[in-house]
Structure 1
Amino acid sequence: MDSNNTNVKSNADTILIVDDHPSNLQVLFALLESYGFRVLAVQNGENALKIANSILPDLILLDILMPGIDGFEVCRLLKAKSETQHIPVIFLTALSETVNKVKGFEMGGIDYVTKPIEHRELLARIQTHLTLKKMSFSLACQNEKLQQEVYARTRVERQQALVGKITEKIRDSLDETQILQTVTEELVKVLNTDSCQIELYDEKLTMATVVYEYIKEDSKEAPREHLRYHGKVRQVIEPIYQQLLKKIPLQFVSTSLDSKYTKLACPIFENGGSKGILGNLWLLKPSEAVFEELEVQLVQQVASQCAIAIRQARLYEASQQQVKELEKLNRLKDDFLKTISHELRSPMSSMQLAMQTLEKLLQSDYPHYKSPKFARVLEIFTSSARRHNRLIENLLMLCYLDVKSEVFTSELINLQIFIPEIIQSFSARIQQQQQHLLIDLPEHLPLLSSHAASLEHIVVELLTNACKYTGPGETIGLQARVTDQAIELSVTNSGVVIPEKEQHRIFDQFYRIPDNDPWQHGGTGLGLTLVKKMVEVIGASLELESYKGQTKFTIKLPNHHCTLS
């Protein structure tokens, strides 16, 4: 007995009635159909199992006492199969013994109705269990959806963690080979692929060469030779590269030496960067496997980080090459300066000696030849020779300063004696140029531990510079001052200010302040360069102040250079 009544809704719940009494079937059939259910009816357990397995009803009303397979066994068999175990079973029984009710629940029944059946009770129980089933199904669907969301979120988090792990390993490396090795090995391990290769393009993007490859080792078998691609060169005119050059990943199945593999090619470039593509990442899996969307995204992220790391490594390598070239040029420059300085020193020394001899001869043996004009010419020769000699000495000092700094030894310097001795050599010059000299030395100065020759050269050069650029009637000063941090030696001169735009250049080699020498002494252009380098060698610092008609150079020697007398 089955219902195909057109009045029954197509989405109506299906109820299977199982009872060996036709009269019971007819009554229940008519009752349930009148309430809009789709009703199926059978008279034995065998047919009940067949119908339940094929139709999967929403609920079963099952009589317990039937010939052949009874209701308990039918229920047990239904609950034993995954397809039918979720169908609610309500037992129909005329028995009132508790043991039968208990057994019915043990077999998997959810409820029972005692014959004679009270229709409203039956309908109420049916509606209750159908509602519970729908709620259970809805909860199961929601639970599955939540599990899928959790799973997806977990996979995304895991992917981000894996990308972070690989990025952490390559971002601080400046070795391109190490970067390629790390990326290929980590991707094979993370994605469980058979191999991973990195190919890089040439400058014109016409050739792609596999520069690094990692193959998953099999503990039972030797590495598969047909997976080896290291050193292989591919022509970029192949169709697959048209998509890769557009920075779009590509997945396909390829046949190689009787073996099929799923290949994933992912371009290596910086996401959001203006730089072009560097190459491609290739990963291989067995042909029956595919790369899921999340895996492709992971490879793309790693490829982007790989591009950044490769560019950093190449920039570092280029900078190292530049450093080597600069070192080479500096060595060539130093060698040239040493050679030319030594070559010039000998003839200049001979010229100086010859002029000194000539001057003595004129004074002693040939005084009648000495005239104002001759004396002036001799003075020009002497002055020029002295200037050139100083230039040579400064060039040699620059060449050897770094070497000397390693062997400089400190000694105790008494500034009360050290400063006046230096000043004495400038007294005549300052008086001749109508300049004023002011010296400010405290009565109790600590002994200074420093390299005396270097410090003397520094002070002499600063005083020479002051004399050169100070006009008549202006003042040159030398001051010593003790602070908690340092001993300060300052050389000042009034009447001249170094323009602010020139101040950062005055320590450059061969630089002279234009049109600012009232005495037209000229200079080597190396004096202040030597001062700055020597100050650094003795562990001091140099400051320049030039404003309000005064220029001041201050040497600061830290307290660890000082010893109290």
Structure 2
Amino acid sequence: MMPDRDSEQILLVDDNPTNLQVLFKTLEGSGYRLLAARDGEAALYTAKRARPSLILLDVMMPGMDGFEVCERLKEDPDTADIAVIFLSALTDSQSKVHGLAVGGVDYIAKPFQTDEVLARVRTHIKIQRLERALARRNSELEDENQQILNAVDEGIIGMDITGRVTSMNSQAATLTGWPASDCIGELFSLLQLFPGDKALNQSLNLLCEGGVGLRKEHVSISTRSGRIAPVAVSGSPRSEGGAVLVLRDISEWLQDQHALEQAREEMDTQRQHLAHIERLSTGGEMAAGIAHEVNQPLTAVTNYARVAQRLLTDLPADKRLKMDDVLTKIVIQAERAAAVIQRMRSYVKKPSGGRQVLELNAVLEDVLALAEVDSRVNAIPVQLKAAANLSTIFADEVQLQQVALNLIRNAMESTANAGHSNAVEVSTYLEGDMVCFRVKDFGAGMAPEIEAQLFSPFVSSKEGGMGIGLSVSKSIMQGHGGDIRFQANPDGGAIFSCEFPVHL
């Protein structure tokens, strides 16, 4: 029977050629590949090259005896796992014990029985196979376990009962900044992950020594580089002693919590502003009703004044002229008040009618008429410097009026609050392919912190202001393909410029 090429190899070592021949005949046909060596040096050389599964080693050899050969085999990592069976005529107990002590797995006395040698060889070859299979499976399991540990998001550190690190996955190395190669076998306390936290360090000692579990939802660890990182810590005792420590990075969770808290605060702020807007909306509806009610008595005042004028014919001429002058003034003021109320009602009620071709100068003239009351209240005149031959624009008239009126009213209030009486300047002009208008005031200007976020919602330089006018205006302008910009007035105050694309 020819031995299988991939079967185990057996090295036969004996200085006696006859003994070697007997061993060859004994094992021939057993399925093993047989190698031979006549002395200790040759045995070491062949074992290093061929890595046999088993060596049948004679003890009594010239030069290097079998015991020394075995010792040197066991000292070399490449040959330490080779099983050695001693063959010797020395049958005393001391020799047998010494052979087993230097690393032999069995001891066969000479002269040997063929069946005994073959049986022991097969037994130890089988043991070798099982040990290799077990070692291979253990290695595979370790690799699988390590892959599983490396796949989880948490850092996992194993410790023995003395607190020394026995294992560490890649995430633990990333979190702590300590590579596993520097930590295995070292005391966990030497890593100084929790400096100054006496309570936690005591809990770790209780975990390893007494099997007392621990859980901390938020602690700080000091990494190898000195960086402080937030983690959640949990520890569980192991049945064989020691413990497993789990570190979970919670920095992203803390950021999410902070963002959630900010969102809640912003929602509360928005809710308050929406409540304010609702009150303003209700007030606007009431104002529209009041305007309607006031308009009726104004009309009555006008009618009564005109009736009184017709009844003046019975009075003397001098008194009739004076009364007529007074009544005429009453009519003029009543009609003026009615016109103001009518313009306000029209502005409030007019829906957004969509975009159309508009003359910017004509729209601004209507806006100045709307701003007449504010102009008298603030004692600040408004001047319109309209450019001639201005191109048309394609815009929503109501939205354009809203932007212009907001800027003009702000300009009048700012100028009045600064104690000036200069007129607010509204001018139109053409710049490239953009039709523009500018509102210039002579107020106190903008504080730097306000200017930096001027067009953000709920930012206002006016006491009690809601801070939504400029934000809405910018949205309207950008929605029309234009923009609104701010610059400081060199003479003091502010200049706001709005631009619309030319309608082709």
TM-score scaled by structure 1?
0.43
TM-score scaled by structure 2?
0.47
